[in-house]
Structures are given as structure tokens and as C-alpha cells.
Amino acid sequence: MNPEEKYRRDRAIIYVLTYAGLRVDELSNLKLTDIDLDLKRIRIVGKGMKVRTVPISNTLLAEIHDWLAFRAEMANQKPQVEDSPYVFYSQRSPKFTVRGIQTMIENYSLPNKRLAPHMFRHTFCKWMLKATNNDIEKVRRLAGHSNIATTSRYLKDSYSDLADAVDALPNF
């Protein structure tokens, strides 16, 4: 895989993880037919074969467009890509495995800060809670959590969030 191809694939993966909140297993199994660019949504087969649909933001839409156009160019050059039903492939396989994705993300870690795919999902959930004014049910559905207690873990505010809230109290 050439450096540009790797960069574009890795970037698209990080965008999908961050802006759609997929689990790494869901990303690995994501097929081209699961993405509907016209209706701006992704069909995700999650844990327990539960299917959910996540809307695609304009930011993510642009990134997916770029990746799929580039992927189509690669398909003209590589039979394994052309034959692959998956959105993401690896150097030697038509499907980028869970372990392969984990390793790819770990390779972007800093010496004192290890990256993991779930961190991007965590960011998605935190951003969605903020965007929905803490509508935990909406976030639960977007994240594909069967139990709302799982989603509620993302509600734990950092100390700085609490300090900002106290500073925002009105004066009288």
C-alpha cells in the first residue's frame, strides 16, 4: 500500500469512527452497500446483529466522498479492492480486520499517550451529548447501546465542565 493510499484510508477510518461513533468491529464489517450518500446515512450492523442507522454529517460526507472516489481509483489497479464488498481494505486482504485497525490506530500514538479505536467512539458520544443538550436517549440510539446505563457513563463531566457551569451562574 503506497503512503498516499494508507494516509487516505487511515484518515477516512478516523473520521468514520469519530463522526459516526462506530465500534471497531462495525467498522471492519462496513460494506459499500451500507453507505447511502444520497440519503446521508450509514447502516450499521452492531452487536447481536442489531441494525441501526446513523445520519452522516456534512463533515463526514465530504471525507467519505473523497475516500470512495480514491478507493474506486484503487479498484481499477488492484483486483482485491475491486472484488471487495468492504469500505476499508488492508494491504493483503479485501477486509481490514479488527486487529489491523487497532494496530493502525496504535501506530499513531504518542510516546506518552496510547491511542485506541474506542477513544474516537468516546469522543463521538461526548460530542453528541453536548450537541443534543444531554439527550441521552438520542445518543443511546446513535451509539447502538442496548442499555442506557452504558450511555450514561459518557455523562460524567470533567472537573473543568463543572467549573464552567459554576462560573456561568447568574449574579444577583
Residue-wise pLDDT for 69-83, tens only, equals 999 999 999 999 999
pLDDT score recorded for residue 171 = 84
Catalytic residue among 8, 15, 19, 23: 23
Ranges in the chain, pLDDT < 70 = 157-160
DSSP state of 95: S
Burial class (CB in 10 A: 0-12, 13-18, 19+), 76: exposed
pLDDT score recorded for residue 155 = 76
Catalytic residue among 8, 95, 121, 140: 121
User: Does residue 121 have an active-site annotation?
Assistant: yes
50-59 residue pLDDT tens: 899 999 999 9
User: Does residue 23 have an active-site annotation?
Assistant: yes
DSSP state of 45: E
The residue ranges of DSSP E strands in the chain, in sequence order, are: 35-36, 41-45, 51-55
Return the domain boundaries, the chain. Answer: 3-165
pLDDT score recorded for residue 77 = 94
User: Does residue 122 have an active-site annotation?
Assistant: no
CA distance 154 to 146: 15
Catalytic residue among 99, 114, 118, 130: 118
pLDDT score recorded for residue 169 = 86
Residues contacting residue 8 through CB under 8 Å, at least 6 positions apart = 66, 67, 70
User: Does residue 154 have an active-site annotation?
Assistant: yes
CA distance 124 to 18: 5
Catalytic residue among 6, 31, 47, 50: 47
pLDDT score recorded for residue 157 = 62
pLDDT score recorded for residue 111 = 92
Going by their DSSP bridges, the two strands 51-55 and 35-36 should be labelled as unpaired
CA distance 21 to 150: 14
User: Does residue 52 have an active-site annotation?
Assistant: no
pLDDT score recorded for residue 18 = 96
Domain boundaries 3-165, corresponding CATH code: 1.10.443.10
